[in-house]
Chains A and B, each alone.
Chain A
Amino acid sequence: MDWMQFIWAGLGNGAIYALIALGFCIVYGAMGIVNFVQVDFVTLGGMFLYSVAVTAGLPVPLGVVASMVGTALVAMAVERMALRPARTANHLVLVFLTVGISIVVRGAIHMVWGKNRMAVPPLTADDPVRLLGAYVLPQTLWMMVLTLLAILALVWFFRGTPLGLAMRAVASNPRAAAVVGIPAGRVRLAAYAVAGACGGLAGALVTPITTLSADVGVLLGLKGFAAAILGGFGSFPGAVVGGLILGISEALAAGYLSSAYKDALAFVLLVLVLAWRPQGLLGR
């Protein structure tokens, strides 16, 4: 049952890629830009978990909540204090601002949490369980369950709450939304908060497996970005599908083809899909 082992590994990584991809899509929906600070939201999630669960010694579930809240607050600060004062709607300027902010945030993380690798505790004990003929870490299961819950919460947020509806309105037609009096500033702030919470959750879930350092989010963020493009940038179901496909194809490639080329294979897949459907799998 080797393939089952590979599928589990792929599903775990895929869930994380999906969460990060969702964060990219949320900001893209509200502002039409790629937010490169998203990769640091992932790192921050792990850092907050470390501070709460290791430094302060509080229970890990509390730490996960704290990382979501903490990262959301940082994300809001980024929007309010760095992006909004730029007073521009020029996408290129805003995108490059996020690149710069990302470097500043990473520098700040270096200063606050240091340059060393850190170990972060998982949600439940590290003993693998046997599931359908494969050895699975409980943390992998948590990753899948909590990602699923996060997706459900997002669906409810965007369909059932006034703020969520306002965000969709701004995304689909910013001018009409402004005409009916939807405050664009507050919507963008909310988008950053939600994207921050997604990134923070991803970071808090994945760092017990990957270990933690100031640049842990960079490569994961890149994969999440690729997943978002694969699924169709901006599409929420696309982000989830893209993340899972990327994760599983990586694991299967490592298992059945050559492990040396698995990263390349994942990106070849991306290129092929985009050649066939330039708008991504589920993009409009």
Chain B
Amino acid sequence: MRRTLWWLVAGMLLSAAPVFAKETIKIGAFFDLSGRAAFIGTPTKLVAEMVVEALNAAGGVGGKKLELVIADTEGDPAKAATIATRFIHKDQVVAIVGPTLTDEGMNVKKIVHTGRTPVVMTVGGDPVILDGEKFGPARWVFKSPQRSSTAVERLFTYLKEKGLTEVALLTADDGFGKDGLRWMEALAPRFGITFVAKEAFGARDTDMTAQLTRIKHAAPKALVVWTIGPAGAIVAKNRQQLGMTVPLFQSHGLPDPKYIELAGAASEGTRMPATKLLVVDELPEGDPQKPVIQDFVRRYTERGYHKQFPINTHSGYAWDAIMLIVKAMEKVGTEPEALRSAIETTKDYVGVSGTYNLSPEDHNGLGVDSMVMVEVRDGRFVLAR
């Protein structure tokens, strides 16, 4: 009986051998494709497929083709955790990109830590790369979008330059808004910025005139709104409705042609920190990112993605996430710990969203110089003066 079993196992191994011979390097990719952030997750997935195809066309990594294992988190943290577990133990992926939402990311941290699989997230919030009891282990977690603190620093530098230091804050009461509020409060003293009003709203609210009326009475020199999605456009419209003339500043989550479409004429003059993606034509010739971004935009447009999902400030994050993994893989192969520490020591990777310099203390690697201030002028984004 036992002998037959051994033969069976041996036979199975033999028959499986040809499969091993042309094996691929698997990367798990999970995004919100049908939930509340599907409008971010879907283009992220398209870009992930685009970069893998480009890499495979150029010969893959170390002679092996890359293979994306794609899954839909439905914007649900519990589902994200299930998928991450499946990626690691069933699909046996080498690394993971995604998910889309900060809450999903938080739920995945422990799983990749015990499963010893590096993940490069495309989420906005900083807590995913913060280590500690409150946040969970971040040793295996990286993220490609700028930290909120980076965007706040960029914005405050600009406000200080322009002398607009008496600021009214209007922040969403979700994870993204609170993260922004925390950093703005922490960094304000360094830039000599004072807050004359602090208001909040629900990320899915449909009318902010009440909060804006209160802000109007505080007579600020600048109004800073921290949110993602349509709420930002509604604030812009409400501001116009109330006849307010105070300059409007938005977060790094909003530089998106969609904002202009949704807010219409009310978006005119809004300024915000953004990646260089939206203003690539205005970049000086010496900028090392310029050719990288131009190449990205060309590929994206060639595939016609821009018709359904116009390029916005987030478009490049999936590209950079996969490139960070692949660059490390080219150096050290796919052994988990080696791959993790190679990602952690990435230096001078010139990406679409900035130049990455990671370290054990900084699992993002983007500095303030990766962002520019953009302004809506005549219905399109240009560099703010």
Q: Verify A263–B206 contact, CB threshold 8 A.
A: no
Minimum Cβ distance to chain A for residue B177 (Å): 10
Q: Which of A2-10, A21-29, A93-101, A195-203 contacts B (4 or more CB under 8 A)?
A: A2-10
Query: Does B230 belong to the interface (CB within 8 Å)?
Result: yes
Q: Shortest CB–CB separation between residue A26 and chain B, in angstroms?
A: 24
CB distance from A188 to the nearest CB of B (A): 31
| Cβ-defined contact, B213 with A2, below 8 A | yes
The answer to whether B211 touches A254 (Cβ under 8 A) is yes
The digit string for B195-225, where 1 denotes a CB below 8 A from any CB of A, is 0000111101011011101100100000000
User: Which stretch of A69-77, A115-123, A232-240 is in the interface?
Assistant: A115-123
Scan A8-52; emit 1 where CB is below 8 A from any B CB, else 0. 110011000000000000000000000000000000000000000
Bound-complex Cα distance A255 to B237 (A): 18
* Cβ A126 vs Cβ B213 within 8 A: no
Q: Is the beta-carbon distance between A13 and B308 smaller than 8 angstroms? A: no
Q: B307-351 CB contact bits vs A (8 Å, 1 = yes)?
A: 011000000000000000000000000000000000000000000
Determine whether A275 belongs to the interface, using a CB cutoff of 8 Å to chain B. no
Is A219 an interface position by the 8 A CB rule? yes
Q: What A residues does B262 contact at CB under 8 A?
A: 117, 119, 211
Pair A5/B209 contact, Cβ less than 8 Å: yes
Q: Write out the residue numbers on chain A whose beta carbons fall within 8 Å of the beta carbon of B86.
A: none
Interface size of B in residues (CB-CB distance below 8 Å): 35
Q: Are B243 and A117 in contact (CB under 8 A)?
A: no
**Closest-CB distance, B173 to chain A (whole angstroms):** 6
- The interface residues of chain A lying within 8 Å CB-to-CB of B200 are 258-260
- Interface size for A (C-beta < 8 A) is 35
Q: In the complex, what residues of A have CB within 8 A of residue B36's CB? A: 215
Q: Which of B38, B207, B264 contacts A115 (CB 8 A)?
A: B38
A13: chain B residues at CB < 8 Å are: 206-207
Q: Which of A110, A128, A254 has the most CB of B within 10 A?
A: A254
**B residues near A210, Cβ cutoff 8 Å:** 206, 230, 234
Judge if B241 is at the interface, Cβ distance under 8 Å.
Answer: yes
Among A77-107, those with CB < 8 Å from B are 107
What residues of A have a CB within 8 angstroms of the CB of B211 in the complex?
254-255, 259
Determine how close the nearest CB of chain B comes to the CB of A213; give it in whole angstroms. 7
Binary flags per residue of B232-252, CB closer than 8 Å to A gives 1, else 0: 011001001111000000000
Q: Bound complex: CA of A2 vs CA of B213, how far in Å?
A: 7
Query: Can you list, as one digit per residue, whether each of A195-231 has a CB less than 8 Å from chain B (1) or not (0)?
Result: 0000000000010011101010001100000000000
A114–B241 CB distance below 8 A = no
Q: Does A251 contact B (CB under 8 A)?
A: yes
Which residues of B lie under 8 Å from residue A114 when comparing CB positions?
Answer: 308
Contact across chains for B210 and A259 when beta carbons are under 8 A apart: yes
- Interface: A189 (CB within 8 A): no
Nearest residue (CB) in A for B261 is A119
B191 contact set on A, CB distance < 8 A: none
- A5 & B213 in contact (Cβ 8 Å cutoff): yes
Which B residues are in CB contact (< 8 Å) with A12?
207
Q: Is the CB of B207 within 8 A of A117?
A: no
Q: In chain A, what residue has the closest Cβ to B241?
A: A128
CB–CB A110/B207 < 8 A: no
Which residues in window 250-284 of A have CB below 8 A to B?
Answer: 251-252, 254-255, 258-260, 262-263
Residue of A with least CB distance to B256: A117
CB of A137 closer than 8 Å to a CB of B: yes
The residues of A that contact B39 with a CB separation of less than 8 Å are 115-117, 213
Residue of B nearest to A206 (CB): B206
> In the complex, what residues of A have CB within 8 A of residue B264's CB?
119, 126
- Min CB distance A267 to B, Å, is 12
Chain B residues with CB under 8 A of A156: none
Q: How far is the CA of A119 from the CA of B234 in the complex (A)?
A: 11
Please give, as numbers and ranges, the residues of chain B lying within 8 Å of A258 by CB-CB distance.
200
With A6-B213, A260-B200 as given contacts, are A128 and B243 in contact (CB-CB < 8 Å)? yes
Q: Is A209 touching B207 in the complex (CB atoms < 8 A)?
A: yes
The CA of A115 and the CA of B234, in the complex, are separated in Å by 19
Q: Which residues of the other chain, B, contact A117 by a CB distance below 8 angstroms?
A: 39, 229-230, 258, 262
Q: Given A110-B34, A115-B38, A117-B262, decide whether A6 and B234 contact each other with a Cβ distance below 8 A.
A: no
Query: Within B179-207, which residues are at the interface with A (CB < 8 Å)?
Result: 199-202, 204, 206-207
- B229 contact set on A, CB distance < 8 A: 117
In the bound complex, residues from chain B placing their C-beta under 8 Å from that of A260 are 173, 200
* Residue of chain B at shortest CB distance from A106: B34
User: Which B residues are in CB contact (< 8 Å) with A158?
Assistant: none
Q: Give bound CA distance, A23 to B234, whole Å.
A: 26
Closest chain-B Cβ to A23's Cβ sits at a distance in Å of 18
Minimal beta-carbon separation of A123 from chain B (angstroms)? 15
A175 to chain B, nearest CB (A): 43
What would be 19 A-B contacts, judged by CB atoms less than 8 Å apart? A2-B213, A6-B210, A9-B207, A12-B207, A115-B34, A116-B309, A119-B261, A128-B243, A135-B242, A209-B206, A211-B230, A213-B39, A213-B230, A215-B36, A258-B200, A259-B199, A259-B210, A260-B173, A262-B202
The 4 closest A-B pairs by CB, nearest first: A254-B210, A255-B210, A260-B200, A210-B206
